Amino acid sequence: MAENVTDETTRRLDELVKATKHKKDIGVKYMKSWELESELREEGREEGREEGRKEGRKEGREEGRKEGREEERANTEAERRRADEAESRADAAEAELERYKAKFGII
């Protein structure tokens, strides 16, 4: 009998538990139940991992698109600045050419 038994009801319950534990078919049912629960947990984990991978890929694509748009904006802005600088240099060169033409009397 268990050391923690304090009354008759608890003692009888303890005896039933012990008797149940010693029945072979109960042990087999318990092991099958344990195996099934283990398989279900593993299936759940795998489903969770797959769901996580799908979500990660989706987030990665969204982040990549966002980064691509930001990079494209930055590239466009850089190209605009280069074009503006080139146009300013061309305007300055034309102005200098006009000064030389005027200085040397070239039409």
| Cβ 40 vs Cβ 32: under 8 Å | no
**What's the mean pLDDT when you consider all of the chain?**
90
Q: CA–CA separation, 95 vs 107, rounded Å? A: 14
Q: How confident is the model at residue 5 (pLDDT cuts 50, 70, 90)?
A: low
- In this structure, the chain runs to a length of 107
pTM (predicted TM-score) = 0.47
- Kindly report, residue by residue over 15-60, the tens digit of the pLDDT: 888 888 788 888 788 889 999 999 999 999 999 999 999 999 999 9
Which of 26-40 are b and which e, b meaning 16 or more Cβ less than 10 Å from the residue's Cβ?
Answer: eeeeeeeeeeeeeee
Would you list the domain boundaries of the chain?
Answer: 8-104
